[in-house]
Each structure stands twice: as structure tokens, then as C-alpha cells.
Amino acid sequence: MNPKYSQMFEQVSLPNGISLKNRIVLAPMTHMSSNPDGTVSDAELAYYARRTGGAGMSVTAVTYVTPNGIGFPAQFAAYDDSFVPGLKRLADTIKQQGSKAVLQIFHAGRLTPEQAVPAGQVVAPSAVASERPGSPLPRELSDEEITSIINDFGEATRRAIEAGFDGVEIHGANGYLIQQFVSPHSNRREDRWGGSIEKRLTFPLAVVDEVNKVVAKHTKLPFIVGYRFSPEEPETPGLTMEETYALIDALKEKNLDYLHVSLNEFWSKPRRGEADTRSRMEFILDRVGGKLPVIGVGAIHTADEAAEALQTGVPLLAIGRELIIEPDWVEKIESGREEDIETVLTRADQERLVIPDGLWNAIINTPGWFPLADEK
């Protein structure tokens, strides 16, 4: 291995005592390839088996904790005990590769497709539609429903424990339900769940507390609990860095093992509210202040790009699209073959790279998402 990449392969100890073999995390990537009944498919297992050997920790594609919380076609579920056997197959597949297996859990809220839920009943903190084209007007959740969903996050965590996962990641990013409660765009409530930023944090903090309560009850072993968030929104009103700092300050006081920042580009700058020219990641690292590990992410493809990102002091680095393009990314760097790393897909690569049909079709039909060439 080239010594300039040695930092990548240092062990990382999480607050709960679990040790990761290196600083690289397989980022959660939706693959839209589950069975029609919401169980994990053989194609998904093959996908994970192919690309989880190198990473110290692997975060699965997100699973939904409530029947009306689905976010994508062909998504696997975790809202009932009947899903545990499939989840166990997934956890076993990842762990057999030597990676820690973390199940990402969520409710899609107002981003749930209308056709995917009974009578098109899309729900959200408030009856405010997303600004994404074609978004439905959601129904406002009742206080009782909100409490029930918090419980559902806990039950999904119990199933993750029973399935043998090493942890769960609470998905509070990318505009889904947990972020919808934090955001002034989607949360216009005036009860205990909304209003000031402190009240808008009530739901996400209650989910964290419920997950931790379930972990304490159902396992004596160390179990990873992480939280993912998006630092800003483009909408007006929308999440600002200042409101994200309030979220970070609250999460730092909870029993969490890491914070995972959701960004398309690691070095992206704040949209508003910051005078200097540092990246969002650098501002966030300052705010966390070393209280718990942070996972950075965003358009990291080469070994040099990863090494440069780690120079910010970020303890962990999630690789998403690049581990789809190059499943042996970690192993090639570790064995001094970084020059052999592929950074572009071709249209002939699906079978060779063990990419499920749902994900492959999304890659091919979403211009600009992946670097794509007709041939090498």
C-alpha cells in the first residue's frame, strides 16, 4: 500500500466500543430490487456480497418501518416480524464479508408515492406538499399517529437486533419524514411537534430515544445507533445551517455512535448564512467538536480524493456510487493497485458488477447520476 493512503486503513472505535477495521463505509444506496412482497431478494444479497468485503461498515439501502412509509418501488420492509428471516439473510451476507452490518430505517412521509399506499393516503407533519414535481398534498398526521410511528422505529430496531445486524442508522435526511419534522417548510404545526426549532426537534429526538430504549431492552451486546441528516434545504422557508447546528447540538447529547452527513459533493459550500468559504463538512465537524464520529460523503471516486477528504479530520468516509462502479475499491487501494480503479461505468457492466435490475435501470435512465460511457 502507498503510505499516503495508510490513514484510510486505521481502525476506528465507536463510542459503544465496537471497532471498525478501517475508515471506509459503504454508503446506503437504494437499489429498487426487492421482492414484490417487501422481502429481501436474491439479487440484493448478491449485490451486497460483491461490494461489502472492503468496507469497515456497510449501511444498507433504507427500509421502511410503517406500511404507509414506503419511499420507492421494490423496496424491502421492516414493519412486521415476518420480514425478520429476510433481514437476517441480508445481515449475514454483509457480516460474512467482514464488514459491520447497519440497517438504515425510515418513513418517507410526504415523499411516499401515492400509488404505493392504501387509498393514496400520503402523510406528513403538515398538509404541505413537497416542491418536487408531481408531489401529492399529504394529510397531516395526528398526535396519536406520530406516537405510533415513533414506536414503529423502535420495533424495526428490535427486528434488526433479532436479524443479527450490528446496528441501525436513523434516516433523518433527504427530505423524508424525520427531516420533514425538523424543516420549517414541511412542519407548520403549532402543537408539541412544531413551531420553534426546539419543538421541531421533538420528533427526531423522540425517535432516537425510542431506538436507544429498545436497544437497551433487547441486547446486552454493543449495538451501533447512527443518525443521518441533510444540512440544508433549497426551499424557502427551508432548513438552514443554523437550524442544523441546533439539531447537531441536541444529537451530541444523545447516546449515538455516529452522525452521517448526506451530501452530493463532499466539498460543497453552504447555501446561505455563512460568511467564510469553508465547506459544509468543515462547519459540521467544528460544531460536532469531536463529541462523536462523523461520516462524510459525496462524489469521492479516487484514492487521492478520499485521502484529501480525510485530511479535514472527518473520522469516516462513506463511498456510494464509486463502490457500485468499483466493488474492489478498498481492496485495490490496500494492495497498492489504486491505478486499476475504475471510475466510469459502461453499458455492458451490469452483470460483471452484479448490479440488480432496478438499480441498473435507474442508473441508465438518470442522466448525470453516474459517469456512464458506451464502452471503455
Give residue-wise pLDDT tens across range 191-222.
999 999 999 999 999 999 999 999 999 999 99
Give residue-wise pLDDT tens across range 60-86.
999 999 999 999 999 999 999 999 999
Give pTM, 2 decimals. 0.97
pLDDT at 244: 97
Range of the domain at 334: 3-373
**What is the Cα–Cα distance from 67 to 350, expressed in whole angstroms?**
31
Give residue-wise pLDDT tens across range 294-331.
999 999 999 999 999 999 999 999 999 999 999 999 99
pLDDT at 273: 67
pLDDT at 97: 87
Q: What is the CATH number of the domain that holds 151?
A: 3.20.20.70
pLDDT at 285: 97
pLDDT at 375: 65
318 beta partners: 25, 297
Please determine, for residue 184, whether its predicted confidence score (pLDDT) is greater than 90. yes
Q: Grid coordinates 441501525 are at which residue?
A: 168
pLDDT classification of 376: cutoffs 50, 70, 90? low
**What is the Cα–Cα distance from 323 to 58, expressed in whole angstroms?**
11
As for how many domains the chain has, the answer is 1
List residues with catalytic annotation.
Answer: 176
